[in-house]
Chains A and B, each alone.
Chain A
């Protein structure tokens, strides 16, 4: 059976409307899953990375409504009133912060995927380290001096900057709207990105006399500045032309200070893409998420600094998506948000939250498979200052999905760029076009009971899968650190039991997580 007919058969044979995180199979068909097959090219596709600097409080952005009682206990001074949380289409379990009306509309228009609890196995609570880990796509304990986007661009445009710009790539490989170029854009040899604050005016540089440099550190720095100077000149006209040719059509961009700078940055991106710039990756950023204190307004938790930031983010996202649609280019642009970490489950006494671990992120655009990937984080009924949201998905699964399903890179190359084989996630409509992914996506897994709970030394866990495939069972401590991988083996469909060995674990909350390649379920276990 060919892949296409298998999928048709799979869809047709579905009798009951199987709901997968709020999205049923019929909508899978309608959203173009089948039509996406066969289209395999990165040409013209654009990725926009929206960086939220400082550590975004994910629990105050994507709200786990089924955990409200515990959430309220853990963060009574910052938690939103449950009634104020924005409901999302087709789910009662998860909502959005009340200031994110624009983001909600994108979601309800089937153009957003929310990926729950994205992080990495051994969380680092330093902004700087964690940011570097995200930018370079390294392991927690490893220092890489180049970025994931830079490595991808190096693959796609080999030997850059030698021989660029050229007939097949006249434009900058990556643009940061802002004054600094991120580590993410750093390639193996040179930075693949360019920074621009105002695309209409780039001052001409004179020093394009390319010559030898001395073989000293000064020579290295000189070569760098000269190269930059040369590139700036060569790309300045291209950017200016695109800015002049392009336009913006949305009326939803905010005016005035409160609208914020992020919308302005995204507006530039829309204009440049519309103006014909072939640049495949853009980065924009919004700072201020390090909300240790006063993240909410005392007495009215839906207001405050975090609310302002989410409002700016949401308004900017909606205006940008609206603009892309009006300009007729929304089919080839997707955007993702990310932050270096989320924040602690428990709030602090300063109506703020401290550095945490995993957090949700949003991917939006026409090509995105709408829905929520993963479950709400499990909030313990009694938290300590240490409790964190452990990861359900490694951030490199998100990167891998983008590289494979958006930029159409073969899996072997994705693996080479990310260092390991990370399971991709069904973030894009064409993600499910692969049989294995589709099968994984159809499979439901769940943890039944953990007994006894609280437990000492050992506990028995029951779980089930209705489709089979590889399952992994892990124990995370309250800081979000992976403590134990209990098993990682193939299963047939059915119900199972497993005895957890808890000897030697210090008392406290632990998260038991069952994972298939695309699904996960968690339970909180208290060890005495």
Chain B
């Protein structure tokens, strides 16, 4: 009987779960603050969900902080400073307006360069996640990029796409109502959902529909706006246009194209009449009225809180979650006039968020998968001034994500990615018989082979970096335990752990063998140092590979 047969044979007799995560019935936790244990697993849970996966250094940065201090730090985005995307293509295509290494965001449109700039944009978007300081800012950018989705392929103008993304950056941690106003008149959005074509003579209801269906109210049972409301909202929004002669492209309001008649809404909106206006401020005034009317519906706050819940906690919202979390969270949202931070703070500090029931149940999206991998293993990137090489390294990850159906900058539709809205599969949409093998291939490739870019750079895991970050890597049990806690959000069964220990200590030989070998590997004066170093590196590689090949690694 080989090991695998042995494991299969024993599954029915597997030891009953003993560790803390193995609760077997659900609990009724809500938004009340979490007051139980405050340990490294708790911190890891928070960082896995609120960031793109912690590095060991991130974890150390929160040493000694209380839960509230840690959450405050994660929400403090005042020091976030992001440099815009740059000309990384200058070695291959000349750009008369932008020097190599300088940003192109205010450069005039150039049909020959837009594609290169858009690729630069995609690489840059990936780099935001990997270079994040441990705050929730970047994760929220992804949330909003999925929520207010705009497809780059539909807006092949790099600067416009950047400024669309800038709206997410500027308002993503601010006020949701203001945010919605800004995105409504963003030139890329006016282009993408035809707002620029929406005129009094030919109303185009594309944006008016998505504003209600996807951006504010959703399609839940309490969202009862009508087809006529869509048409009336479209008429409210007539007259906005883009000015393609400005650099970058700006949005304008053309009162001559605006429908100046009154717009009457259905009983769902209390038969509200939005007064038709004339003149140059008509568009803004009526948009304000429209958003006032929509944001009066409590459903807006609930819909957004449900989306946040699906993003940060779990995709299934049961009755307890609806009444104990969504409803009070939505109230906080409304009471704070749609400010986003108080909502996140309440959620991240709640007993529900830390409930063992809710740990480890988020399937990593491809961005989180690739970025957390890089951060866990502290993979080196080319130096900042080697622009072309650096962006090629980012681009490798864009390519991996593309294969796994997450093309940054190009969500599949205005509804964003399936994983965050498609009933009933939600997050499971990320894992298919096509993508799961690719995830494993990606991990194995960077772990074993490495990706060469140019002559001087290889993107590859150095197993020593992560290993030396653990407290006692020469102790096989401690190493496996810490590595599993750091890399996996759920505890393993004893048999799985035994399987891992086999890698370090084959055939059940005593633990001191690993200790001796490891010590020799890290101490140059040992006579067998060189061979031990090779042998240990190989075993560490197999250990991490085996951990990551576990299905548990796809969870967060």
List A residues at the B interface (Cβ < 8 Å): 125-129, 132, 143, 145-146, 178-181, 183, 186, 191, 194-197, 202-212, 214-222, 224-226, 228-229, 231-232, 235-236, 287, 290, 292-293, 348-350, 352, 354-355, 385, 479
Interface string of B360-374 (1 = CB under 8 A from A): 111100000000000
Q: Which of B8, B14, B202, B421 lies in contact with A348, CB distance below 8 A? A: B202
CB nearest to A215 among chain B residues: B24
Known contacts being A127-B415, A293-B194, is A179 close to B405, with CB within 8 Å? yes
Residue contact B8 to A218, C-beta cutoff 8 Å: no
Contacts of A178 in B (CB 8 A): 434
Q: Answer whether residue B550 sits at the interface, using C-beta atoms and an 8 A cutoff.
A: yes
Residue contact A127 to B405, C-beta cutoff 8 Å: no
Residue contact A212 to B197, C-beta cutoff 8 Å: no
Q: Answer whether residue B299 sits at the interface, using C-beta atoms and an 8 A cutoff.
A: no
- Measured in the bound complex, the distance between the Cα atoms of B432 and A232 in whole Å is 9
The minimal Cβ–Cβ distance linking A389 to chain B, given in whole angstroms, is 16
Task: List 6 A-B pairs, Cβ < 8 Å.
Answer: A203-B438, A214-B21, A216-B24, A216-B361, A217-B314, A221-B427
Q: Answer whether residue B181 sits at the interface, using C-beta atoms and an 8 A cutoff.
A: no
Q: Answer whether residue B201 sits at the interface, using C-beta atoms and an 8 A cutoff.
A: yes
Contacts of A206 in B (CB 8 A): 440, 546, 549
Residue contact B436 to A205, C-beta cutoff 8 Å: yes
Known contacts being A232-B436, A292-B194, is A216 close to B495, with CB within 8 Å? no
Known contacts being A194-B433, A217-B316, is A207 close to B357, with CB within 8 Å? no
Q: Answer whether residue B203 sits at the interface, using C-beta atoms and an 8 A cutoff.
A: yes
Residue contact A181 to B432, C-beta cutoff 8 Å: yes
Within 8 A of A (CB), among B198-230: 199, 201-206, 209, 213, 219, 227, 230
Residue contact A349 to B21, C-beta cutoff 8 Å: no
Residue contact A179 to B359, C-beta cutoff 8 Å: no
Interface string of B186-200 (1 = CB under 8 A from A): 000000001001010
Residue contact A205 to B549, C-beta cutoff 8 Å: yes
Residue contact B431 to A224, C-beta cutoff 8 Å: yes
CB nearest to A177 among chain B residues: B434
Contacts of A225 in B (CB 8 A): 363, 431, 436, 551, 554-555
Q: Which of A211, A218, A236, A287 lies in contact with B555, CB distance below 8 A? A: A218
Q: Answer whether residue B465 sits at the interface, using C-beta atoms and an 8 A cutoff.
A: no
Residue contact B441 to A203, C-beta cutoff 8 Å: yes
Contacts of A194 in B (CB 8 A): 432-433
Q: Which of B7, B219, B433 lies in contact with A211, CB distance below 8 A? A: B7
Q: Answer whether residue B435 sits at the interface, using C-beta atoms and an 8 A cutoff.
A: yes
Closest 10 CB pairs of A and B: A349-B202, A203-B437, A218-B360, A217-B361, A145-B424, A225-B551, A206-B549, A195-B432, A232-B433, A195-B434
Residue contact B493 to A132, C-beta cutoff 8 Å: no
Known contacts being A132-B423, A204-B437, A349-B201, is A209 close to B499, with CB within 8 Å? yes
Residue contact B549 to A207, C-beta cutoff 8 Å: yes
Q: Which of B22, B316, B429, B440 lies in contact with A205, CB distance below 8 A? A: B440
Residue contact A222 to B551, C-beta cutoff 8 Å: yes
Contacts of A217 in B (CB 8 A): 314, 316, 357-358, 361
Q: Which of A181, A209, A385 lies in contact with B8, CB distance below 8 A? A: A209
Q: Answer whether residue B39 sits at the interface, using C-beta atoms and an 8 A cutoff.
A: no
Contacts of B203 in A (CB 8 A): 385
Q: Answer whether residue B428 sits at the interface, using C-beta atoms and an 8 A cutoff.
A: yes
Residue contact B436 to A228, C-beta cutoff 8 Å: yes
- Measured in the bound complex, the distance between the Cα atoms of B173 and A380 in whole Å is 50
Residue contact A226 to B551, C-beta cutoff 8 Å: yes
Residue contact A210 to B11, C-beta cutoff 8 Å: yes
- Measured in the bound complex, the distance between the Cα atoms of B405 and A371 in whole Å is 39
Residue contact A349 to B197, C-beta cutoff 8 Å: yes
Tally of contact residues, B, Cβ under 8 A: 74
Contacts of B489 in A (CB 8 A): 218
- Measured in the bound complex, the distance between the Cα atoms of B437 and A235 in whole Å is 13
Residue contact A349 to B199, C-beta cutoff 8 Å: yes
Q: Which of B358, B425, B551 lies in contact with A229, CB distance below 8 A? A: B551
Residue contact A210 to B424, C-beta cutoff 8 Å: no
Contacts of B428 in A (CB 8 A): 221, 224
Q: Answer whether residue B490 sits at the interface, using C-beta atoms and an 8 A cutoff.
A: yes
Q: Which of A202, A209, A226 lies in contact with B4, CB distance below 8 A? A: A209
The minimal Cβ–Cβ distance linking B320 to chain A, given in whole angstroms, is 13
- Measured in the bound complex, the distance between the Cα atoms of B199 and A293 in whole Å is 14
Contacts of B357 in A (CB 8 A): 216-217
Chain B CB count within 10 A is highest, among A220, A224, A225, A236, for A225
- Measured in the bound complex, the distance between the Cα atoms of B261 and A336 in whole Å is 46
- Measured in the bound complex, the distance between the Cα atoms of B424 and A191 in whole Å is 11
- Measured in the bound complex, the distance between the Cα atoms of B234 and A385 in whole Å is 13
Known pairs A214-B21, A218-B21 / 15 extra A-B pairs, C-beta < 8 Å? A179-B432, A196-B433, A197-B434, A205-B440, A206-B440, A207-B549, A214-B17, A216-B357, A217-B316, A221-B361, A222-B555, A225-B555, A232-B436, A350-B197, A355-B209
Q: Answer whether residue B422 sits at the interface, using C-beta atoms and an 8 A cutoff.
A: yes
CB nearest to B419 among chain A residues: A180
Contacts of A196 in B (CB 8 A): 433-434
Residue contact A349 to B204, C-beta cutoff 8 Å: yes
- Measured in the bound complex, the distance between the Cα atoms of B224 and A353 in whole Å is 25
Q: Answer whether residue B513 sits at the interface, using C-beta atoms and an 8 A cutoff.
A: no
CB nearest to A146 among chain B residues: B424
Within 8 A of A (CB), among B223-250: 227, 230-231
- Measured in the bound complex, the distance between the Cα atoms of B551 and A228 in whole Å is 10
Residue contact A205 to B555, C-beta cutoff 8 Å: no
Contacts of A132 in B (CB 8 A): 423
Contacts of B552 in A (CB 8 A): 222
Residue contact B205 to A214, C-beta cutoff 8 Å: no
Residue contact B413 to A211, C-beta cutoff 8 Å: no
Contacts of A350 in B (CB 8 A): 194, 197, 202, 204
Residue contact B424 to A186, C-beta cutoff 8 Å: yes
- Measured in the bound complex, the distance between the Cα atoms of B552 and A205 in whole Å is 13
Q: Answer whether residue B404 sits at the interface, using C-beta atoms and an 8 A cutoff.
A: yes
The minimal Cβ–Cβ distance linking A230 to chain B, given in whole angstroms, is 10
Contacts of A204 in B (CB 8 A): 437
The minimal Cβ–Cβ distance linking B540 to chain A, given in whole angstroms, is 17
Contacts of B435 in A (CB 8 A): 179, 195
Q: Answer whether residue B32 sits at the interface, using C-beta atoms and an 8 A cutoff.
A: no
Within 8 A of A (CB), among B1-24: 4, 7-8, 11, 14, 17, 21-24
Residue contact B433 to A216, C-beta cutoff 8 Å: no
CB nearest to B546 among chain A residues: A206
Interface string of B430-462 (1 = CB under 8 A from A): 011111111011000000000000000000000
The minimal Cβ–Cβ distance linking B61 to chain A, given in whole angstroms, is 26
- Measured in the bound complex, the distance between the Cα atoms of B405 and A354 in whole Å is 27
- Measured in the bound complex, the distance between the Cα atoms of B432 and A268 in whole Å is 18
Q: Answer whether residue B356 sits at the interface, using C-beta atoms and an 8 A cutoff.
A: yes
- Measured in the bound complex, the distance between the Cα atoms of B429 and A219 in whole Å is 17
Known contacts being A145-B424, A202-B433, is A216 close to B197, with CB within 8 Å? no
Contacts of B555 in A (CB 8 A): 218, 221-222, 225
Residue contact B429 to A180, C-beta cutoff 8 Å: yes
The minimal Cβ–Cβ distance linking B150 to chain A, given in whole angstroms, is 14
Q: Answer whether residue B327 sits at the interface, using C-beta atoms and an 8 A cutoff.
A: no
Q: Which of A210, A235, A348 lies in contact with B204, CB distance below 8 A? A: A348
Residue contact B197 to A348, C-beta cutoff 8 Å: yes
- Measured in the bound complex, the distance between the Cα atoms of B359 and A214 in whole Å is 11
Q: Answer whether residue B69 sits at the interface, using C-beta atoms and an 8 A cutoff.
A: no
Q: Answer whether residue B418 sits at the interface, using C-beta atoms and an 8 A cutoff.
A: yes
Residue contact B206 to A231, C-beta cutoff 8 Å: no
The minimal Cβ–Cβ distance linking A268 to chain B, given in whole angstroms, is 12
Interface string of B497-533 (1 = CB under 8 A from A): 0010000000000000000000000000000000000
The minimal Cβ–Cβ distance linking B204 to chain A, given in whole angstroms, is 6
Contacts of A224 in B (CB 8 A): 428, 431
Chain B CB count within 10 A is highest, among A191, A196, A210, A224, for A224
Known contacts being A206-B549, A225-B551, A349-B201, is A179 close to B404, with CB within 8 Å? yes
Residue contact B356 to A216, C-beta cutoff 8 Å: yes
Q: Which of A211, A229, A232 lies in contact with B493, CB distance below 8 A? A: A211
Q: Answer whether residue B178 sits at the interface, using C-beta atoms and an 8 A cutoff.
A: no
